[in-house]
Structures are given as structure tokens and as C-alpha cells.
Amino acid sequence: MLQSLALPLSEAPLRPIVLVGLMGVGKSTVGRRLAARLRLPFVDADNEIEAAAGMSVAEIFERFGEAHFRDGERRVIQRLIDGTPKVIATGGGAFINPETRALILAQSTAVWLDARIDVLVERVRRRNHRPLLKDRNPAEVLRELAAVRNPIYAEAPIHVSSHQAPHEHTVVAILKALGR
């Protein structure tokens, strides 16, 4: 049985922990649980972007395009990585931007959450808000994205696989990788 007790404050990380990986891997869900275990604040970068823009990620993509969104995403993540310990969930494409990636690698502990394509497809089908999947086959899109992005995500110093299991298993794997 997995223990769900929070860690003592003295064991909390000194740098922000930034979760990266493809859509559907569980960055937000795992991030919230990881933050609770570490007694740290949790921030979802996409929620922060939506609050700053006053519109959803999908609306930003539709109205202004992906390049505009990625620029705003970089600025929001730069604001979030302020040296304060916290857990940050990023959007799937955030770490792909070279400037954003350099910032994350230099000023935080990056954790790549990875999962098999079939697991991701099952997860993304539960919600219909992802701009890159609009009117496309999720398995095809995710395979294409993985081919391009996984070599970049691999630059994160910590790599944890997310399986078809309770998210708590992924949280425990991250804690172990962090030496907690």
C-alpha cells in the first residue's frame, strides 16, 4: 500500500519542480498530488496563461496562433520560475521552445513524465479541449508529437514513466527519483 503522508518541510526541494511531457501524461493531476506530498504550492502554467490572457488556451490558439501562444507561455513560465519552491505543470509544448527549455533546465528541476501512446490516447479522449487534437486522430497526432518531442523531453534530468495505474504510483516514482 502506498503511503500518502506529506514530507517534512525540511525535506522540501529548494528549486521549483517543473513537469514536462506530452499532453495527457498527467502533469496537472500528478503535479497537484506531488505538491501536496512535498507541502509546496502547485501551479498549472496553462491556467496561469488563461488567467493572464482572459481566454482559454484553445481560444488563444484559434485567435492568435501557436507562435503567439508559445511566446506568452514562455513569459508566464519565466514569471513562475522565480526561485520559490513549488511544483509547476507545463503545457506539452512548453519545453520544446529553446528559451523556455533553457530557463527550466537552469532554474528548476525538470521531470519528464512519459507514457505509452495508447495510455495517452485513452487519457486525452476524456476531455475535448486540446487545440492540437482538433479534428484529428489523437493516436496519429500523439505519435507525431512523440517522434519530435521525446528527444527534447529527454534533456530533462529526471525521467519517470506514467502507467495505467493510479497517479499516486507516478508521484511515488518522482519522489524516489528526487531522492525523497
Which pLDDT belongs to residue 132?
58
Which pLDDT belongs to residue 163?
81
Which pLDDT belongs to residue 3?
42
Dihedral angle sign, alpha carbons of residues 116, 119, 122, 128: negative
Distance CA 37, CA 58 (A): 31
Which pLDDT belongs to residue 67?
87
Q: Is 91 annotated as a binding residue?
A: no
Which pLDDT belongs to residue 128?
60
Dihedral angle sign, alpha carbons of residues 155, 129, 40, 119: negative
Q: Is 130 annotated as a binding residue?
A: yes
Domain ranges in the chain are 15-171
Which pLDDT belongs to residue 135?
64
Q: Is 28 annotated as a binding residue?
A: yes
Q: Which amino acid is at 88?
A: I
Q: Is 20 annotated as a binding residue?
A: no
Sequence-distant (≥ 6) Cβ neighbours of residue 136 within 8 angstroms: none
Apex 39 CA angle, 130 and 110, nearest 5: 50
CATH level 3 topology of 15-171: Rossmann fold (3.40.50)
Q: Is 46 annotated as a binding residue?
A: yes
Which pLDDT belongs to residue 152?
97
Each residue's pLDDT, cut to its tens digit, for the chain (180 residues) gives 344 444 444 455 579 999 999 988 999 999 999 999 999 999 999 999 999 889 988 889 889 988 888 898 999 999 999 989 999 999 999 999 999 999 999 999 999 999 999 888 887 776 666 555 666 778 888 899 999 999 999 999 999 998 877 889 999 999 999 988
Q: In what order do the strands lie in the sheet with 17-20?
A: 42-44, 87-89, 17-20, 109-114, 158-161
Q: Is 24 annotated as a binding residue?
A: yes
Dihedral angle sign, alpha carbons of residues 28, 30, 33, 35: negative
